[in-house]
């Protein structure tokens, strides 16, 4: 089949966030079995970074996008551009992320790809890119192509959690407005695609309750576990080490790192005074960087995480907000690390705690980390279970087969490749 993936990001190995990494790996997996094309936005400093996709057989088409990478006069254009989209979002009652990425240039290029290339499937990545799915449904002639909208995470669920955690009235009101905008948007998007995929079963249930839609399915994100040589968290000697990895442009990661450094690490250090925490991720904020020193290493972005995982005895993901599948947790488990995370961190991966330790309270989280640092055998066994779990449930070839089955079953139900536009 001809499979067109539409993404808000040009996915490349240095992208630095889990969603972009997942789209990169999805495209490479699709290209092994389908004629695959990627249509995406490209930022100012990303020229040439599509090479890893091209080498994997993905045909990459890009639309220029002003971003924080802009400099000089382009920076002024960026400020005007963002102000315009903020005004449009407020006027239309749409989430800012939706307005930010809803660009005429992308829709024009998408319609051109539909006309010239005639794909069998168009898969739109991220719920905030849903206007692209609507463009395909409205533009298609007859029953092609089949439209898949992959939500990645539910913006309404993320905002609901933020509102519940807000400690002041102003923040609660702002979260409430954002929640209303996202709920309105997500109630609409189910009508803009033939198949809407959620990355966790919990997300699917929430969206189903909001919409009563019948075209929803749960399809997780995956990881290229076959490319990771397994680590041995039980065999490492020397000073005890814990590892945290995350993109600090994503607020839940910054919050998690701050909780680790302020609340969890001191409790672990009470039992293991020599413990070292390595905090990896591009552009850590000052609230995190100020902790750097003896016992806390903050190297920033790391090209190859292999060495960090080999040094660590425990991988920690103390995530108390956010939504969707956490690629960093999947990757850590796929590498065979001993993982301690929260119920939010384990969503869609291992909520029962069979292959990682799932702890919701910061004090108990610290005690669980300290217990694992004491027990090499428990770390080794947990790491073995983690890798086995990811190999069997989150490999990209299996996820691609699941997507193929969804497309084919939907076609069979509706007597063709797609459905008529709503």
Question: Of the candidates 117, 115, 159, which has an alpha carbon nearest to the alpha carbon of residue 141?
Answer: 115
In order of their start, the domains of the chain are: 2-65+103-152+190-222+395-414 (3.40.50.2000), 225-393 (3.40.50.2000)
Sheet with 314-317, side-by-side order of all strands: 296-300, 276-280, 241-245, 314-317, 339-341, 357-358
pLDDT of residue 414: 63
| SS3 category, 142 | coil
pLDDT of residue 407: 93
Residue pair 234/383 in contact (Cβ under 8 Å)? The answer is yes
Q: Which residues contact 199 (CB under 8 A, 6 or more apart)?
A: 150, 151, 152, 153, 218, 219, 220, 221, 324, 325, 348
Cα-Cα-Cα-Cα dihedral sign, residues 408, 411, 417, 418: negative
Give the pair of three-digit tokens for residue 98.
Answer: 């939706």
pLDDT of residue 335: 96
> Looking at 311-375, which runs of residues are DSSP E strands?
314-317, 339-341, 357-358
pLDDT of residue 266: 96
Say which DSSP state 298 is in: E
pLDDT of residue 72: 75
- pLDDT tens digit string along 35-51? 999 999 999 889 899 99
Q: pTM for the complete prediction?
A: 0.89
| SS3 category, 340 | strand
DSSP readout, 28-41? HHHHTTSEEEEEEE
Which parts of the chain have pLDDT scores under 50?
417-422
Give the pair of three-digit tokens for residue 297.
Answer: 């290493």
Residue pair 382/356 in contact (Cβ under 8 Å)? The answer is yes
pLDDT of residue 416: 56
pLDDT of residue 172: 82
Helix 18-31 with 396-414: angle, nearest 10 deg? 70
């Amino acid at each position: 089949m001809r499979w067109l993936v539409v993404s808000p990001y040009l996915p490349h190995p240095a992208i630095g966030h889990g969603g972009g990494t997942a789209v990169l790996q999805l495209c490479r997996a699709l290209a092994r079995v389908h004629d695959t094309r990627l249509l995406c936005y490209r930022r100012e400093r990303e020229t040439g970074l599509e090479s890893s996709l091209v080498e994997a057989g993905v045909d990459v088409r890009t639309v220029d996008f002003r971003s924080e990478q802009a400099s000089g006069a382009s920076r002024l254009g960026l400020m005007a551009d963002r102000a315009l989209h903020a005004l449009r979002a407020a006027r239309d009652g749409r989430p800012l992320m939706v307005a930010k990425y809803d660009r005429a240039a992308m829709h024009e290029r998408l319609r051109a790809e539909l006309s010239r290339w005639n794909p069998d499937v168009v898969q739109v990545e991220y719920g905030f890119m849903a206007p692209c799915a609507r463009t395909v449904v409205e533009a298609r002639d007859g029953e092609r192509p089949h439209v898949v909208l992959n939500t990645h995470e539910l913006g309404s669920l993320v905002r609901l959690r933020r509102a519940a955690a807000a400690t002041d009235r102003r923040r609660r009101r702002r979260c409430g407005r954002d929640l209303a905008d996202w709920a309105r948007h997500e109630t609409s998007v189910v009508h803009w695609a033939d198949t809407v995929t959620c990355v966790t079963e919990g997300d699917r249930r929430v969206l189903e309750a909001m919409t009563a839609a019948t075209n929803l399915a749960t399809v997780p994100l995956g990881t290229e576990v076959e490319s990771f040589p397994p680590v041995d968290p039980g065999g490492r000697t020397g000073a005890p080490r814990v590892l945290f990895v995350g993109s600090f442009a994503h607020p839940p990661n910054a919050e998690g790192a701050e909780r680790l450094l302020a609340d969890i690490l001191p409790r672990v250090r009470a039992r293991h005074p020599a413990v070292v925490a390595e905090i990896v991720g591009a552009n850590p904020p000052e609230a995190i960087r100020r902790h750097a020193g003896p016992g806390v290493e903050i190297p920033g972005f790391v090209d190859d995480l292999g060495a960090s995982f080999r040094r660590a005895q425990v991988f920690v993901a103390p995530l108390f907000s956010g939504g969707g599948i956490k690629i960093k947790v999947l990757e850590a488990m796929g590498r065979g690390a001993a993982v301690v995370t929260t119920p939010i961190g384990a969503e869609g991966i291992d909520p029962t705690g069979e292959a990682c330790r799932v702890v919701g309270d910061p004090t108990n989280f610290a005690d669980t980390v300290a217990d694992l640092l004491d027990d090499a055998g428990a770390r080794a066994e947990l790491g073995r279970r983690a890798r086995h779990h990811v190999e069997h449930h989150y490999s990209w070839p299996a996820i691609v087969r699941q997507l193929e089955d969804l497309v084919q079953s939907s076609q069979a139900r509706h007597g063709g490749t797609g459905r008529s536009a709503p």
